[in-house]
A = this chain, B = another copy of it.
Amino acid sequence: MRVKLTLAYDGTDFHGWQLQKNSNTIQGIMEQALEKICSMPIRIHGSGRTDSGTHALGQVAHFDPPSDRSDIPWQKALNSILPTSIRVIKARITDENFHARFSCISKTYSYTLWTEPDFLYPQRRHFVWQTGRVDLHLMEQAAKHLLGKQNFKSFMNKGTAVNSTCREIFSYSFDPGLYPQELVFRIKADGFLKQMVRNIMGALADIGRKKYPPDYMAWLIRLKNRKNASATAPAKGLCLEKVEYPGHID
């Protein structure tokens, strides 16, 4: 039996998704909760890592419970044990061929900017990056260069081995945020390289603040080199919103 979970978390106090010794990670906390319910160690597989401080509204993970625990109401059982900084939004039995990471066909992230330079509402301080004013029109012109299947090596930080640095960006949008001072950049792709969204955001913010013209984005993509690119945007503005799978195994 395989269970698919949809998870939301406030990443502020966690050292990211991935299990680490002596560190408070989301995967670690999830596995502790599952071990408590199942009375045995259970491995949980996420759709991918999220960085320390990065949030999720729709992370997806799967695990295989022991057969004597097959009728547990997983959402209720897990939410009663987990800290309130992690919530199970949905839990259901899924196809045995489903794999949270390998079956994934797209991911959507949001990145939220706070555009007011003089103050930042404390209620939002863990969820936005305060860039001050940005020129949306310039950022929109720059973002056009991102679409399609391309080599995004200039936007990959080191530390994870990958077969290819090509990814396909399906779509993006600039949307209003929760408060009028917010601007949300949403981006959907078949997958993302290490800190790719934060690196794209770093470049977009430099363009929005007129440090570089919109064509800087095209130049950066052609460069295929992280060196000399804009700095990585802070983790706290980033949120994994949605992970999608093909209908037949979902």
Q: Does A89 contact B (CB under 8 A)?
A: yes
A89 and B120 alpha carbons, distance in the complex (Å): 8
> A8 near B121 (CB under 8 angstroms)?
yes
CA separation between A85 and B121, bound complex, in Å? 8
Flag the segment in A122-130, A141-149, A184-192, A220-228 that touches B.
Answer: A122-130
Residues A119 and B75 in contact, CB atoms below 8 Å apart: yes
Question: Quick check: A86 and B8 within 8 Å, CB to CB?
Answer: no
Contact check, A122 vs B75: say whether CB atoms are below 8 A apart: no
Cβ of A178 within 8 Å of any chain B Cβ, yes or no, is yes
A79 at the interface (CB under 8 A from B): yes
Asked whether, in the complex, the Cβ of B178 is within 8 Å of the Cβ of A120, the reply is: no
Q: How many whole Å from A52's CB to the nearest CB in chain B?
A: 16
Q: Which of A14-65 contact B (CB under 8 A)?
A: 55, 57
A88 at the interface (CB under 8 A from B): yes
Cα distance, A86 to B122, chains bound together (Å)? 6
Closest to A10 in B: B122
- Residues B122 and A87 in contact, CB atoms below 8 Å apart: yes
Pick the contact of A125 from B57, B84, B127 — CB < 8 Å? B84
CB atoms of A85 and B8 under 8 A apart: no
Query: Taking the complex as formed, is A111 at the interface, i.e. its CB lies under 8 A from any CB of chain B?
Result: no
| B120 pairs with A87, CB closer than 8 A | yes
| Cα-based distance from A178 to B123 in the complex (angstroms) | 12
Interface residues of A (CB under 8 A from B): 8-10, 55, 57, 75, 79, 84-89, 118-123, 125, 127, 178-179
29 A–B pairs (Cβ distance < 8 Å), ordered by A: A8-B119, A8-B121, A8-B122, A9-B122, A10-B122, A10-B123, A10-B125, A55-B123, A57-B121, A57-B123, A75-B118, A75-B119, A79-B118, A79-B119, A84-B120, A84-B122, A84-B125, A85-B122, A85-B125, A86-B122, A87-B119, A87-B120, A87-B121, A87-B122, A88-B119, A89-B119, A123-B127, A178-B178, A178-B179
